[in-house]
């Protein structure tokens, strides 16, 4: 047999590359367009809090991210209370280790906060010091 006939019977092209369709039932994709499998053809679009993922060459591929995965109901109040993070106890700035704040979000008794070298909040003496 000639080399070309041997390759053709083995499912190879003239360069010796596999040139056979793999049935879907045994792991084939049934696709002939390679753009459906390239990472460079994946699109991510943002519109406000909406995220859409698409793939090129597929007219029905848009997938929206569910609100439950976007943490859209999680809020942090001005007093430092985190809400919407689940059913367990909520986080408060006063419960964070080494925090100078009480559970109401105020500077705790006995605490002094210094910002830079010229601004100090002194809870013990109930004063704010600002240096020139």
Q: Tell whether 40 is covered by a domain.
A: no
- Residue 13 covered by a domain: no
- pLDDT value, residue 86: 67
Residue 121, domain member (yes or no): yes
Q: Is residue 8 part of a domain?
A: no
Distance CA 35, CA 52 (A): 19
pLDDT above 60: residue 41: yes
Taking the C-alpha atoms of residue 123 and residue 109, their distance in angstroms, rounded to an integer, is 6
* 3-state DSSP of 91-119: CCHHHCCCCCECCCCCECCCCEEEECCCE
The shares of helix, strand and coil residues in the chain, as percent rounded to the nearest 5, are 20, 25, 55
| pLDDT attached to residue 63 | 73
pLDDT score, position 125: 85
Question: How much of the chain exceeds pLDDT 70, in percent?
Answer: 70
Would residue 4 count as lying in a domain? no
Whether 112 is in a domain gets the answer yes
90 confidence band (pLDDT: 50, 70, 90): low
Residue 99 contacts residue 91 (beta carbons within 8 Å)? no
Mean pLDDT of 19-35: 77
Residues ≥6 apart with Cβ < 8 Å to 64: 50, 51, 52
Which residue(s) pair with 125 in the sheet? Answer: none
DSSP letter for each residue of 46-65:
EETTEEEEEETT-TT--EEP
Partnered with residue 42 across adjacent β-strands are 55
**Domain for residue 115, yes or no?**
yes
Indicate yes or no: pTM above 0.85: no
pLDDT at residue 88, as a whole number: 59
What does the pLDDT look like over 42-88, one tens digit per residue? 778 777 767 777 776 666 676 777 776 777 777 777 776 777 766 65
User: Once rounded to an integer, what is the mean pLDDT over residues 24-29?
Assistant: 83
Q: Indicate whether 127 belongs to any domain.
A: yes
Range of the domain at 108: 88-132
Non-local CB neighbours of 89 within 8 Å, separated by 6+ positions: none
**Domains: count for the chain:** 1
């Amino acid at each position: 047999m000639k080399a070309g006939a041997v390759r053709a019977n083995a499912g190879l092209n003239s360069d010796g590359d596999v040139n056979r369709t793999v049935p879907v039932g045994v792991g084939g994709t049934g696709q002939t367009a390679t753009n459906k499998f390239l990472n460079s053809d994946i699109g991510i679009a943002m519109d406000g809090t909406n995220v859409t993922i698409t793939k090129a060459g597929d007219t029905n591929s848009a997938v929206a991210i569910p609100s439950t995965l976007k943490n859209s109901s999680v809020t942090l109040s001005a007093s430092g209370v985190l809400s919407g993070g689940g059913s367990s106890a909520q986080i408060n700035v006063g419960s964070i280790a080494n925090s100078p704040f009480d559970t109401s979000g105020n500077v705790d008794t006995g605490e002094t906060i210094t910002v830079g070298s010229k601004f100090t909040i002194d809870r013990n003496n109930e004063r704010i010091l600002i240096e020139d």
